[in-house]
Amino acid sequence: MDINSALEKIAPILEKVKNGNEADLIALAESYDQVTPPSIKVPKEIIKAAFDNLDPIVKSALEKARAAIIKGHEVQLRKELKVEVIAGGQINHKFLPVERVGLYVPGGRAVYPSSVLMNVIPAQLAHVPSIAIATPPTKENNGWPNQTILATAYLLGVDEVYAIGGAQAIALFAYGMDGICEPVNLVTGPGNIYVAAAKRALRGLIAIDSEAGPTEVMVIADKSAKANEVAADLISQAEHDEIAAAILVTDNEEFANQVEAQVWKKVFETKHSKRISIALQGEQSGIVLVDDMSQAAEVANAYGAEHLEIQVENLDEVANQITNAGAVFLGRFSPVSLGDYLAGSNHVLPTGGCACHTPGLSVQTFLKGVSFIKYDQDAFNQTVSDVITLANSEDLPAHGQAMSARLEK
């Protein structure tokens, strides 16, 4: 399925949310999630109760992940930059937080408390004043979102959570709804192809981070890699979705055969073997044979994978040739699974080739650069004639007159 097909399918959903009410949102949940949430906005006491009931072992792991993500992201903070263009002519470049953000956390086939961490922490480090989370309702929690997702929101101090998923969640954030949810300025977070399509359709009304989903992994490996480990990494990302992409790029046909054998040995030992098998047999997945590692890098850059693993003998040489990837994982002890949870990097990454122009989620995603320009009279006088000349050259004389008016007595 491609994004254009998804855009056609979600068009009625977007229109329904734009002109609808809470009853319409609940009807959409019943239709697409097969569950009826008691209300779209989750009460604060439900969020707190989820935290109170959180398994202490899971809580400990979440806290360790939070610490790693904070450490990995706080270095991304931007300081105010000042520059004097000419004597008396100064620009201050400030990086101000977006006022309100909507963070999408997927549900459906799997639940992602890790995505709560990945979305919320950079926004908090950027000092975003208003943060809301949307995540699908679940049957297991009486129509409310998954308990671990709610508990993670509470752990991070977020108490505005909506029981809504898919394209309708993105539409709710974009349009807002009286008495339910205020519109946001920016929507971030991964999701399925319908979420990605909604982000594309509503971009402009809202800002987005990227079209993050469905997931992709590409592994560049030579004969020095461990076939069973590469197979496990391919399987791990195929576990997300039947249309997830898993690709091996190698210059060694014997190694390719070894990985393929390991893949089909391991698939049937996993919990979600049916889903993984469909993903691995889809046209989006496969094995690419190249002449050498330089050509492997060319293939990787042309594809622009969300996740790119490099497991080769000359690691730095190949890594230095990579220009397009959401995140790059170097060596056998840096699998994508580490990045999904505890590496300290962010797992909300561009997919569908968007890595050639769009970065992964970061603190900077939630900051907007604003220039504050201040010229004194002497600096103004030094520039006035050149501004008038350039304005007249563009046939915009009123621009020049706005300058010359300041010279009149």
Catalytically active residues are: 306-307
**Distances in whole angstroms, Cα of residue 119 to Cα of each of 171, 323, 328, 345, 382:** 18, 25, 19, 12, 47
What is the rounded distance in angstroms from the CA atom of residue 293 to the CA atom of residue 322? 11
What is the rounded distance in angstroms from the CA atom of residue 69 to the CA atom of residue 406? 52
**Cβ atoms of residues 310 and 328 within 8 Å:** yes
What is the rounded distance in angstroms from the CA atom of residue 122 to the CA atom of residue 189? 12
Cβ atoms within 10 Å, residue 243: 18
**Cβ atoms of residues 218 and 196 within 8 Å:** no
What is the rounded distance in angstroms from the CA atom of residue 255 to the CA atom of residue 241? 26
Q: E-assigned strands of 183-303?
A: 186-188, 207-208, 216-221, 245-250, 286-289
